[in-house]
Homo-oligomer: A and B are copies of this chain.
Amino acid sequence: MANASPQVRIVTRDEIVAALPSVDAVAAMERAFARYSAGAASVPPVAEILFDDPPGEAHIKAGHISGDPFFAVKVATGFYRNPSRGLASSSGLVTLFDASTGYPSAILLDYGLLTDIRTAAAGAVAAKYLAPAAVRRIAILGSGTQARLQARYLLQVTTCRALSLWARDDQSAARAASDIAAHGFDVEVSTSPAEAVRGAQIVVTTTPSPSPLIAARDIAPGTHITAVGADSEGKQELAADLFAKADIVAADSVTQAALRGDISHALRAGTLEPQRILELGDLIDAPLARKSSAQISIADLTGVATQDIEIAKAVLAAIGT
């Protein structure tokens, strides 16, 4: 019987790249978060493998959205010495399985591209639902793929084109600034995280920093912060005191945020009470009314499997069969 196996579709990175212009990743992420927060998804805890030499990490995210024809298993890796070998730091792949038979349906050989895209589109969703109405400046911390992609996906949710960028390495910062400018932003490179966020109403942090880059004193009223860099225990971009100052704190997954990311540090530090954490998906159907334009909001995104499912489904639909 086992030999009557249905065919598995192998989707190359080139096919994915070609399909992406016709994929509405922001809408896909709205669906992903709404379904997740509605309790319609079965998502086991993230499995993590850490590597010492060379240092690296693998995150395995799996899940099924009730009623969906597929379930997904996504592997995303980060090996920060890869660039010295001419390889991107991030890689991975997404596999979809038939939810009625368990048989593999499609393997998307995206080398981490879909994780990058869905993370950037999730940042746009966070800004869409949480940023103040009037945005005069965006600040981005970091100079990697996410720094570039977060800027690109923000184009869809704000008309602001003034952007400050800070990164630890000056040359990397200059290259990222140039790439982001090519998408229509007027980019200034800042000499410190604090300088970068000054005057910004949307701040996006995209670094693998092991220690906080911005603290309460750096952030003015009327700022929204999306933090996407810290996704495991050893990483932190936002100081714990920033959460005490924030009026609104949201996570893509409340349970996962308690284990990973900046929220987990704030919970341990006691600067954030668990009951204050909203879930992003709950805001999609019932958007939050900001009580004043002076509120500070934080969205901490550690990534959930429903995002991987929805982006993979959207890409497959765009490719056609």
Contact = CB atoms under 8 A, between A and B. Distances in A.
Interface string A1-15: 111111010100100
Given A44-B48, A56-B100, 5 more contacts: A8-B93, A51-B99, A75-B95, A77-B101, A91-B104
15 contacts: A2-B112, A2-B113, A5-B111, A6-B87, A44-B49, A45-B47, A51-B99, A58-B97, A60-B62, A73-B73, A79-B100, A85-B101, A91-B102, A93-B95, A93-B107
Contacts of A93: 8, 95, 104, 107
A10 B106 CA distance: 13
Contact of A97 (B3, B10, B73, B77): B77
Instruction: Count identical subunits in the complex.
Output: 2
Contacts of A21: none
A71 interface: yes
A64 interface: yes
Interface of A: 1-6, 8, 10, 13, 42, 44-45, 47-51, 54, 56-58, 60, 62-64, 71, 73, 75, 77-79, 82-83, 85-88, 90-93, 95, 97, 99-104, 107, 109, 111-113, 145
Contacts of A44: 47-49, 60
A60 to B, nearest CB: 5
Contacts of A57: 102
Contact of A109 (B8, B77, B100, B111): B8
